[in-house]
Amino acid sequence: MSSVKIVVPLLVALLVLSQSVFIVDQREQAILFRLGEIKRTDFKPGLHFKLPFINNVKFFEKRLLNLDADPERFLTSEKKDVIVDSYVKWKIADVGAYYKATGGDSRRAGLLLYQKINDGLRAEFGKRTVQQVVAGERSEIMGIVTKNANREAKSLGVVVVDVRVKGISLPQEVSNSVYERMRAERERVARNFRSRGSEAAERIRANADRERTVILADAFRQAEVVRGEGDAISAKIYADAYDQDRDFYSFNRSLEAYRNSFGSKNDLLLIQPDADFFKYFKSPNAD
């Protein structure tokens, strides 16, 4: 009996002690309740005490939480549908306000947050064209949506860290029209480049033809000048040689004429025997 008297109070003491302490992990936040009413939320990581059977504690995540939304269909300013797949990074900023707004249910918090994010995305996509949301202004859209979502999410006691779009796709009917418009635009740009290239080619060809004509004309002019100068020098040499010995020059010219006239056995020349052409045949000293 004495051992029972010792063990029972000891067990009761241990039970009371276990109900009197709790540990807050550095990755968690805690709310202390007294008979269902929030009494304290500002707990630091470590060991804390509470009144057993009167106080109870609930723990919530302090780390970033991920909300992966289902793809949604939004209308652009062109009244064309785009299918947007997005996700949200968020965390609990005010655990007391979070519990009051959502009852501590993370699914309910995600649903309420998703509705606010979804409304922001719908509004921003509705201000822009397909090309802008796909290629040009995605970062700007995410920044605006994140800022607006944070303003709305204060009532939930959460803060939106980031909103990101994983992908933007087009319904089949929209894809075909967009691709056709893009193809037409690329063809227009290609035609423009081709026409500019043809214009440049014609200009280069015309310049080359003009330069060729100028070069040929200048070369012909220089050739005629050189030929004229050569003919003048040749005539001067002949004249100087003729002046040195006119009889020898006449005799040499006659021999050249004989060679040119009788170069073939079939050559036939009809001329009077006393003509000047044969004067050197009669006498080497013919005058």
Rounded alpha-carbon distances, angstroms, from residue 269 to 10, 207, 280: 162, 58, 17
Please give the Cα distance from 55 to 21 (Å, whole number).
Answer: 10
Please give the Cα distance from 81 to 130 (Å, whole number).
Answer: 9
Question: In which band, very low, low, confident or very high, does the pLDDT at 215 lie, cut at 50, 70 and 90?
Answer: very high
Q: Are 72 and 124 in contact (CB under 8 A)?
A: no
Residue 159 has pLDDT above 70, yes or no: yes
Which alpha helices (DSSP H) does the chain contain, by range? Answer: 2-18, 95-102, 106-125, 130-131, 138-153, 172-244, 246-261, 279-282
Work out the average pLDDT over 45-57. 86
70 DSSP 8-state letter: P
Topology classification of domain 65-170: Tetrahydropterin Synthase; Chain A (3.30.479)
How crowded is residue 176: how many other Cβ atoms within 10 Å of its Cβ?
11
- CA 143 distance to own-chain centroid: 23
Residue predicted with more confidence, 135 or 79? 79
Please give the Cα distance from 116 to 77 (Å, whole number).
Answer: 20
Q: Are 133 and 141 in contact (CB under 8 A)?
A: yes
Q: What is the pLDDT of residue 9?
A: 66
Q: Where are the domains of the chain?
A: 2-61, 65-170, 247-282
Q: What is the pLDDT of residue 244?
A: 73
Please give the Cα distance from 277 to 246 (Å, whole number).
Answer: 17
Please give the Cα distance from 37 to 31 (Å, whole number).
Answer: 10
The model's pLDDT over 223-265, given as tens digits with 9 standing for 90+, comes to 988 988 888 888 888 777 777 766 677 777 776 776 766 666 6
Q: What is the percent of the chain where pLDDT is above 90? A: 6
What is the chain's length? Answer: 287
Backbone angles phi, psi at 157, to 5 degrees: 75, 20
Torsion of CA 216, 218, 219, 220, to 10 degrees: 80
Please give the Cα distance from 174 to 172 (Å, whole number).
Answer: 5
Q: Are 72 and 49 in contact (CB under 8 A)?
A: no
